[in-house]
């Protein structure tokens, strides 16, 4: 299963803690955009789920095309 992360830990790993605190990871959970585990009333996210989310939302750079000079 892997290590279970708190919402705060997820925010810190995503680098959103300083700007929006827990709001961004909580929105991901509320919108069901990331897999999570309910432990009683607590929400936890596995490291694997966080890794999958980051991988799925990683945008690869496009290669630059060189323009022909007329």
pLDDT at 1: 67
Longest dimension (CA), the chain: 68
Mean pLDDT of 29-35: 97
Say yes or no to pLDDT of 39 above 70: yes
Say yes or no to pLDDT of 26 above 90: yes
- Nearest-CA neighbor of 10 among 60, 1, 29? 29
- Nearest-CA neighbor of 36 among 21, 52, 20, 23? 52
Quote the DSSP letter at residue 34. S
Say yes or no to pLDDT of 47 above 90: yes
Mean pLDDT of 35-49: 96
């Amino acid at each position: 299963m892997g290590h279970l992360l708190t919402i705060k830990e997820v925010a810190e790993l995503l680098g959103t803690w300083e700007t929006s605190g827990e709001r961004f990871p909580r929105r991901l959970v509320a919108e069901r955009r990331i897999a999570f585990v309910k432990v009683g009333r607590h929400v936890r996210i596995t490291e694997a789920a966080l890794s999958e989310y980051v991988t799925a939302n990683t945008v690869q750079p496009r290669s630059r095309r060189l323009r022909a000079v007329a």
